[in-house]
Structure formats: structure tokens, C-alpha cells
Amino acid sequence: MQKCVKTEHHYVSIDIMVRMTYRWDMPQSIGKNAIEVFRALRSAPKSRLELASATGWSRNTVAKRLDELMAEGWVCESEPDSAGRGRPYAQYQMNPKAAVVYAAVFGWHQLTGALCRLDGTPLVTDESPVNLDETQDVLPVLLAQLERLSANPLVDGSRIVAGALGGPSSVANRITTGAWAQSPQLALELPARLGIPFQVENDANAMALGLRRTYPHVDSYIFVKVATGIGAGIVAGGRILRGVDGLAGEVGHIPIPRANSQPCGCGNRGCVSLVTNSQALMRRLSTPEAPVNNLEQVRRLVLSGDGNAAMALREAGQALGEALVGVITAVAPELIILGGRMTQFGDHFSTGVREVITTMTLPAISSRIRVDTVPDHHAAGIQGAADLAVDQFLGG
């Protein structure tokens, strides 16, 4: 009888040239009944009795389906829980090594991708340069990365069953053309080109979903990515809020007074991203004698004790806090999670956010809400994209 065991995971980077016209060979197809079992096992391992309750099947039917799926390697016994009294019941889970999914996140200058197990564990990773500021065709970049990953000997490329991709918001690109304006076409082209179900998602949403495993007991939270743009993934009741056309979470385009009605690429004026994003921070710290052209220079200024850099970060956090006040009052989350390099230069940025939330939201909310930072939002994005890919495999 096959059992699932914990193994050491390998993380590798590969750089080999391969074809870009590959079409994936699907693994042995599985039926509707198997998918129903997988869905029942998705949240946690279950006993046969629990599976019978979840599916509505008889215990004999459950036993038959489990035997079939275990013989094919799709389901295995989980490690027994020895915390209770007496002999533990056998519990079953979807075999995380039965197949792999492709998970990727676009940044403005880099595509980070991975082939992951069904539990979201990355097996092989790859980073590819890209420039979303230009009208670059991103589809060949993505396909080339997928080829490199599938050629790695640590994975079986023929077992890729689904994929998901997180990318920057296309709000500004509705006005100014850019590479990510292709995202609606990607959502249509990728399933046809790859022969697998594929989802294209806002990157902040993917990152927010990935953080569910970091904060398993938090039911409602807001993740905010602070980078070239400002975007948020809003999780309420354990589910992401997408809104009309997936536009929920566009907190970078909330107007605030301190932005002084500056025009924004979205077509509005005074958006918070104009005074909070990385470009705004670098402009503020630059002088003719000492221009600041990248965030590494900002980090060095902060670490050297530069008071102006620390204050600039704190005030950028305060500006973001002002934009979040209305969202927090409406959603009442338990937690605000900040991601992006700017949030990692000490606690200056998060302190600014916390100050405004404390003073401008209802005491019943501000007394309970926490503000946290995540050190690697890209890893969260890969985890979230992997979860979305598994959702696609299971039929959405």
C-alpha cells in the first residue's frame, strides 16, 4: 500500500536552450469521480468515513474508488496522527507527487516560474528577464521558461496537468499600451498552446492566496504589494475578492490629498501610487549631486542612518495608510500584510502605515488589526499560482 512520506525538497535553477513549440502530453486521464475525491481531500486528509460524508457515497463505493486511485498513484495514505488515543483511523490524501503544475509570476523586469507538486512545493525554479514597460511579446518568454523547466531531470514534464500565472495590474495599460495588456489574450492562448487548463491572475491576488499557508488561522486579511505599482489582494472569509473584471484591490489608484491631483496613467488624478511607489521614493531622495536610481541605493541610505531616507519611507507608509482606511473600514480585516522591497528596509514603511490605521480607523478595528511584512512576496506568488493551478486541475 502506497503511503505519502515527507521528503527533502530540491530547489534548482536551470539554463538550457530547448524548443519553443512543445505541446504537453497529458497523463492518464482521470474521471469525474476521482476529481470529487480530490476536492474532498484538498483541505485536509480524511478517513473513509469522512470521505463518505463529504461525497455522499456509500462506504463500499468510497473504498472502491480509493483502491482504484491508490493503484494509479493519485491517492495515498497520509502519515497517521498519533496525538489521539487508541489506534488511529487510516487517513487518505491526494498524492502530492502524482503530478506537477506550472506556477509563474511576472514582475516588470523578471518572470519567476516553477514546477510544483500538487501541494504547491516548488521542485525546480527558473528566472527569466522580461520588460513589461515595452510592447514585448511575453508569450515566447513564458513558453521558453516552461520548456527549460520541463527538461530538468528532477521532474517529469509529461505530468504537467495545469498552470497559473500572476501578473501586474492592467489598469494603467488600459490607457498606455504595454506588454501586460496582452493578459486577456494569454488567458485564451495558453490553454490552447499547452493543452492544459491555465489561469491568468492578478499578481497581488496570487500572492495573497499564497499567504494563506503562512497565516492559516487568519480568515480575513489584505496583502499589499508595494513596488513600481501598488496593488492589493483582499481575502475575506478565506476567499479572494476579485470584483468586477478582477479590479478589486486596486488600492494604488485611490486618490489621497497629499498626491496633489497629479495625473495618473489610469486616467484619474491624485492616486496614492504617485507618492508611494518605488519611483516616487527614488525621486524624492535624489539630488543633482547624488541621484538615486534604484532601491539598492535606498537600502544603503537607510542602513547608513540617513534620516531623510527613513522619513521618506515612513511618509510613504503614511500615504498608503490613508488610502487603506476606507478599505479597512469596509472589510474589517484581521491583518494587513505588506510586501515588496520598500517594506524590508527596517520598519519605517510599516510604522507609517500602522500610525495612520491606528488614528484614522474605528477603535474597534484598530485595536485588533495587525500590520505585518512578508520577506519574500515572490515565493508567496508562486505558492498562490500553484494553488490556482491545482484549482484548474480540479475543475475550478
DSSP-derived letter for residue 158 is G
Confidence of residue 183 (pLDDT cuts 50, 70, 90): low
Q: Do 252 and 151 share a structural domain?
A: no
**Of 73, 94, 115, at which residue does a domain stop?**
94
- The pLDDT of residue 364 is 94
- The pLDDT of residue 89 is 75
- The pLDDT of residue 172 is 41
- The pLDDT of residue 11 is 30
The predicted model scores a pTM of 0.85
Q: Is the pLDDT of residue 169 over 70?
A: no
CA dihedral (40, 41, 46, 47) positive or negative? positive
Q: Do 243 and 180 share a structural domain?
A: no
Q: Do 251 and 294 share a structural domain?
A: yes
Whether residue 262 is contained in a domain is answered as yes
Number of domains present in the structure of the chain: 3
Whether residue 5 is contained in a domain is answered as no
Q: Do 158 and 118 share a structural domain?
A: yes
- The pLDDT of residue 130 is 81
- The pLDDT of residue 354 is 97
Whether residue 18 is contained in a domain is answered as no
**Of 94, 123, 142, at which residue does a domain stop?**
94
Pairing of the two strands 198-202 and 160-167: parallel
What's the CA gap between 394 and 396, in Å, rounded?
6
Sequence-ordered list of residues with C-beta below 8 angstroms from that of 191, at least 6 positions apart, any chain: 197, 198
- Residue-wise pLDDT for 54-69, tens only, equals 999 999 999 999 998 9
Whether residue 21 is contained in a domain is answered as no
Q: Do 221 and 198 share a structural domain?
A: no
Q: Is the pLDDT of residue 278 over 50?
A: yes
Q: Do 294 and 342 share a structural domain?
A: yes
Q: What angle do CA 101, 111, 188 make, to 5 degrees?
A: 60
Whether residue 8 is contained in a domain is answered as no
Q: Do 306 and 235 share a structural domain?
A: yes
CA dihedral (96, 101, 105, 111) positive or negative? positive
Q: Do 115 and 65 share a structural domain?
A: no
- The pLDDT of residue 116 is 96
CATH number at residue 52: 1.10.10.10
- The pLDDT of residue 394 is 87
DSSP state string for 199-215? EEEEHHHHHHHHTTTTS
Looking at mean pLDDT, say which of 2-6, 83-87, 141-145, 351-355 comes out highest.
351-355
What's the CA gap between 144 and 375, in Å, rounded?
28
- The pLDDT of residue 86 is 58
Whether residue 149 is contained in a domain is answered as yes
Average pLDDT of the residues in 300-327: 96
Q: Do 367 and 220 share a structural domain?
A: yes
The residue ranking higher by pLDDT, 21 or 359, is 359
The residue ranking higher by pLDDT, 104 or 176, is 104
Q: Do 248 and 385 share a structural domain?
A: no
Q: Is the pLDDT of residue 357 over 90?
A: yes
Whether residue 257 is contained in a domain is answered as yes
CB distance 212 to 196 below 8 Å: no
What's the CA gap between 250 and 172, in Å, rounded?
11
Average pLDDT of the chain to the nearest whole number? 84
Q: Is the pLDDT of residue 6 over 60?
A: no
- The pLDDT of residue 9 is 33
Q: Do 250 and 329 share a structural domain?
A: yes
Whether residue 210 is contained in a domain is answered as no
CB distance 386 to 101 below 8 Å: yes
Average pLDDT of the residues in 139-155: 90
- The pLDDT of residue 193 is 83
Q: Is the pLDDT of residue 327 over 90?
A: yes
Domain that holds residue 44: 32-94
CATH number at residue 181: 3.30.420.40
Confidence of residue 136 (pLDDT cuts 50, 70, 90): low
Average pLDDT of the residues in 152-159: 88
Q: Do 227 and 83 share a structural domain?
A: no
The residue ranking higher by pLDDT, 326 or 190, is 326
- The pLDDT of residue 244 is 86
Of 40, 204, 14, give the one whose Cα is nearest residue 128. Answer: 14
